Each structure stands twice: as C-alpha cells, then as structure tokens.
Structure 1
Amino acid sequence: MRCTAVIVRYAHGGGLTDAERAVRERVRLDAVARFEAGDKNTVVAATLRVSEKSVERWRRQ
C-alpha cells in the first residue's frame, strides 16, 4: 500500500478571518524589516515565533 502526500491550498485564505489574515500579513512585513536589518533566518523565526521554513520562503519571495 502506498501513501501519497497531498498539499491542499485554500483559495479563501486557509479558513482564517480577515483579522487573522491581517495579523499574518503584519508578521510577514515584520520579517521583511528584519531581513533588511540583516537578521539571519533563525533569529527572525525565533523572534516572530514562526518556522524557519516559513521565514526561508518569505525571504525567497
């Protein structure tokens, strides 16, 4: 039996409310400011309490 991972993306924002999406966007913008200040991904992730994988993705974008 094979297991296959499926990634699901939600067009409506992943079930978040408008307020929750706004908070998430503020976190991303804070990350951008920290990138410009020269902070490393590990520091940004720890400070903002998000995964390093998310920080890496945001930096690439």
Structure 2
Amino acid sequence: MNGMTRIEFLLRLTISNPDVHTAIIGTLNPDHLKTNIAAVAAGPLPTELYTEISDRLAKFSQPK
C-alpha cells in the first residue's frame, strides 16, 4: 500500500473514484478525525496505483 495505513489507503481510494460523490465517515475520537483529515488532504491515490486496484477489483465484479 505504498507505506500508507489501511485507513489512509481506503480513504484515498474512495476519493480517487470518480463515481463516488459522497463518503460518510464517523468517529467519536478526535485523533481518528485528525488522521482521516490528513489522509484526505493527501489527495487521491497516484493514477498508476488507482488503475491497478481498479483492475484487480474488476476481476471480482465480472458476472460469471
């Protein structure tokens, strides 16, 4: 995951997807909120990584 935490990776994956317009993230922990804000502030995933993940996920979403 290129040195990212699982949370950072998943949040950045979410904001990388042009089909996702809203992500609802909740926490009661201020430290978790700061972590989430920092992850989103880092921006979308690099294009190559997003493409690789999208291609892998597409293999599992194909009808059989």
TM-score, scaled relative to structure 1: 0.35
Larger RCO (CA within 8 A; separation ≥ 6): 2
TM-score, scaled relative to structure 2: 0.34
